[in-house]
A and B are shown apart, each in its own frame.
Chain A
Amino acid sequence: MSLQTPRILPSHLHAFHPSSTSSNTVRILGTVTALHGNTGTLTCGTNGDVTLILKSDARLQVGKLVEIVGKVADLEGGQGYGIRVLGSTEWGDPADCDYKIYENVVNATHKFKSIFYD
């Protein structure tokens, strides 16, 4: 099955860059903290920020918890990695989510890969 979107944290972005892997579609959870035109900033608990490259029809709201499915891409001007958003799911108030659980899920899914990803 090819429809796999590994859950990651900002520190894993490099591992899913198009240059290092053919499957660069990922899933990441965070709070939208800023929106500037066609880019946005996703804050992932205490794990840092990720720059989101948005489509014109994206409907993200600052302050909401969202789960992003997207492709890892290079940012313009060599500013490192970002995620080109393909889809997003809103999960409401970030306070309702225990981000520690998500961090453990990311760790477990990569440590015990056989039941999650090929």
Chain B
Amino acid sequence: MDGSYNNYSSSFGGGGGFMPGEANSPAGGKTGDRDNKTLRPVTAKQVLDASQPFPEAPFQIDGADVANVLLMGQIRNISSQSTNVTYKIDDGTGEVEVKKWVDSATADSMDTDDGKAPADGKTEVELNGHARVFGSIKSFGNKRYIGAHSVRPLTDINELHTHLLEATAVHLFFTRGPPGGGGGAAAGNAGGVDAVMGGADDYGAGQNKALASMSLVAKKIYNLLKTEPQDDTGLHMQVIASKLNMPASEVGRAGEELLGAGVIFSTMDEQTWAILEY
């Protein structure tokens, strides 16, 4: 009985420990997708500037993974092939290629079903007309494109303008944190620490102010150091990198940012950091 229980727990632990390393496998990728179902408003320039930490990895904008993107712009070119339609979308910030795979089943039903006629007209986009596109960023060779789930016409100019403002708002969210006092997440997670700190609240607020101007990665590291159980020596850079699932070089850079601002300090060696709290 005892033995089987131990076996169970050890195999379970092993499975859990293996997960981060599995991120490269298709299964790992799917897990990430399931967690991130957001639809992010973007500009064409953001799509073209999106980075990919390693081949096949999800694209990142402002350091955050993007699952689906929403893009609005003018259609500069339409080229219909047997399997897909390729559009060139221009929103004034750049030009992005958008591929929509032709679904023969729906195409047929639209052509034949008279009841669907108005809807059919509605989904028709025109050359030099405007469109709203949603899909995911893909790359083929060195070419960046959007694999579209939907390409629909856009007729209200206000929608186009608010989209650009939304894209700005989301960009600011990821680069500067949520509106109205950054470090909201840190404050929420720090309940246990606060009790220990007692009257150190004001000092903490000062740190949050310093944090507000820092990169997203730096904020993530700070939050991890604040919430992760650890001894007096803090956490090693490699541990942080694996916990946050980020390349060590990026963690190193953000760490220097935090060290420079004096919110964390190095303990045993230069790569082991703890929060400067007392």
Contacts and interface: CB of A to CB of B under 8 A. Distances in A.
Chain B interface, DSSP helix/strand/loop, else mixed: helix
B93 A117 contact: yes
Contact of A3 (B42, B90, B156, B168): B90
A108 B158 contact: no
A47 to B, nearest CB: 15
B156 A96 contact: yes
Interface residues of A, number: 27
Interface string A79-118: 0000000000101000011100110110011001011111
A98 B158 contact: yes
Contact of B43 (A89, A101, A115, A118): A115
A112 B172 contact: yes
Interface string B155-169: 011100110110110
B92 A7 contact: yes
Contacts of A1: 44-45, 48, 94-95
B128 interface: yes
B74 interface: yes
Interface residues of B, number: 26
Given A89-B74, A89-B128, A101-B158, A116 B172 contact: no
A105 B74 contact: no
B161 A102 contact: yes
A39 interface: no
B119 to A, nearest CB: 22
A10 interface: no
B51 interface: no
Given A3-B94, A108-B168, A116 B158 contact: no
A6 B167 contact: no
A5 interface: yes
Most buried by A among B45, B48, B90, B130: B45
A95 to B, nearest CB: 12
B267 interface: no
A96 B158 CA distance: 8
A83 to B, nearest CB: 15
Interface in B169-197: 171-172
B46 interface: yes
A105 B159 CA distance: 12
Interface of B: 42-46, 48-49, 74, 90, 92-95, 128, 130, 156-158, 161-162, 164-165, 167-168, 171-172
- List the 10 closest pairs (A to B, CB-CB), nearest first: A1-B94, A101-B161, A108-B168, A5-B92, A116-B93, A105-B161, A91-B157, A3-B95, A115-B171, A97-B157
22 contacts: A1-B48, A1-B95, A3-B90, A4-B45, A4-B92, A4-B94, A6-B92, A27-B92, A29-B157, A96-B157, A101-B158, A104-B165, A105-B161, A108-B165, A112-B172, A115-B42, A115-B49, A115-B93, A115-B171, A116-B45, A116-B164, A117-B45
